């Protein structure tokens, strides 16, 4: 997955599948790297499960078991830590010289407003943006945020921020 936004979406789905109610997503972009960290308060994994989770084709939820393998595939650095009953944190960093690009992160964030809260901390060349979907949900239901176009505005807002600070090819 060279589009880092898709890798983030993949990792976030693991958090959702693990029953997380809070996701924290930090994304950082500079000249060389695109990095992200996804941490959750899902059910977490003990050492044995964590080791197996990193094996290609191994799954504990009836899926293909290739997700983390793909996320790791092009990463320059990859770290995962997890504690049973506490949650999981995944960190990955990609070299832009390897062809990694952030892509349509706005579209990824639109899909991460659900019955869990997502806090996004986005940093592009030192310029930062923070979005807490819990704040949006405090006023409107998710269905209303969708149908009234609030999430479309959020998507456009994020992508505009990325293009303005990181350029068209980020």
Partner 1 sequence: MKSIADINEIRAKMQAQICLRDNSDMEKEIHIIVGMGTCGLNAGARTVFNALVDEVETKNIKGVLVTRTGCMGNCADEPVVEVHVPGKETVKYTKVNAEKAVEIINNLVKA
The contact set with partner 1 (CB under 8 A) reads 1, 6, 9-10, 13-14, 16-17, 59, 61-64, 66-67, 70, 104, 107-108, 110-111, 114-115, 129-131, 135-136, 139-144, 146-157, 160
Nearer to partner 1 among residue 97 and residue 147 (C-beta): 147
Min. distance of Cβ 157 from partner 1 in angstroms?
A: 6
φ, ψ of residue 114 to 5 degrees: the values are -145, -145
Q: Which CA distances in Å does 132 have to 24, 25, 38, 148?
A: 9, 10, 14, 18
Nearer to partner 1 among residue 6 and residue 33 (C-beta): 6
How far is Cα 27 from Cα 119, in angstroms, rounded to an integer?
Answer: 11
Min. distance of Cβ 3 from partner 1 in angstroms?
A: 10
Min. distance of Cβ 31 from partner 1 in angstroms?
A: 25
Q: Is residue 51 helix, strand or coil?
A: helix
Q: Is residue 141 helix, strand or coil?
A: coil
């Amino acid at each position: 997955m060279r589009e880092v936004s898709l890798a983030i979406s993949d990792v976030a789905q693991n958090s959702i599948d693990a029953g997380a109610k809070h996701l924290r997503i930090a994304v950082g972009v500079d000249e060389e790297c695109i990095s992200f960290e996804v941490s959750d308060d899902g059910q977490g994994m003990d050492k044995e499960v964590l080791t197996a989770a990193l094996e290609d084709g191994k799954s504990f939820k009836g899926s293909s078991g290739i997700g983390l393998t793909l996320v790791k595939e092009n990463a320059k650095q990859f770290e995962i830590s997890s504690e049973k009953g506490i949650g999981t944190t995944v960190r990955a960093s990609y070299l832009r010289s390897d062809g990694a690009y952030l892509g349509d992160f706005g579209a990824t964030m639109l899909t991460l407003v659900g019955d869990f809260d997502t806090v996004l901390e986005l940093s592009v060349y030192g310029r930062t943006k923070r979005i807490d979907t819990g704040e949006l949900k405090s006023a409107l239901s998710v269905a209303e945020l969708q149908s009234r176009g609030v999430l479309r505005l959020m998507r456009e807002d994020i992508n505009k921020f990325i293009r303005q600070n990181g350029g068209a090819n980020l």
